[in-house]
């Protein structure tokens, strides 16, 4: 699932930090496609997911990749990060 929201977002860095420090999931800082981003692994009801959040050109991106196994989710993420093109 990919969700996009058009800005402007004057506080991109503090917005990412607020999500990261919310305690909801164990987010870490990464660089995704050259942009400062956050990522977290999630598990709920036998589903494994990765949530990636970042900003690019006044667009907020929230991406969730999900499958029935952690190995498959990791493989999805590996393929996704090489093929994904930003607007």
Overall size of the chain counted in residues:
87
Question: Domain tally for the chain?
Answer: 1
pLDDT band at 6 (very low <50, low <70, confident <90, very high): very high
Q: List own/partner pairs for 62-69 with CB under 8 A and 24 or more apart.
A: 62/2, 62/3, 62/4, 62/5, 63/1, 63/2, 63/3, 64/1, 66/1
Q: Is the pLDDT of residue 10 over 90?
A: no
- pTM score, two decimals? 0.88
Domain that holds residue 10: 2-83
pLDDT tens, residue by residue, 18-76:
999 999 899 999 999 999 999 999 999 999 999 999 999 999 999 999 999 999 999 99
At residue 86 the predicted structure's pLDDT band, cuts being 50, 70 and 90, is confident
At residue 73, the pLDDT reads 96
Assess contact for 8 and 60: CB atoms under 8 A: no
């Amino acid at each position: 699932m990919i969700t996009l929201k058009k800005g402007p977002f004057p506080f991109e860095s503090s917005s990412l930090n607020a999500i990261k420090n919310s305690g909801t999931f164990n987010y870490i800082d990464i660089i995704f496609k050259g942009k400062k981003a956050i990522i977290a692994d999630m598990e709920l009801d036998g589903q494994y997911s990765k949530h990636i959040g970042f900003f690019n050109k006044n667009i907020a991106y929230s991406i969730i990749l999900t499958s029935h196994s952690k190995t498959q989710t990791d493989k999805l993420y590996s393929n996704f990060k090489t093929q994904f093109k930003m607007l």
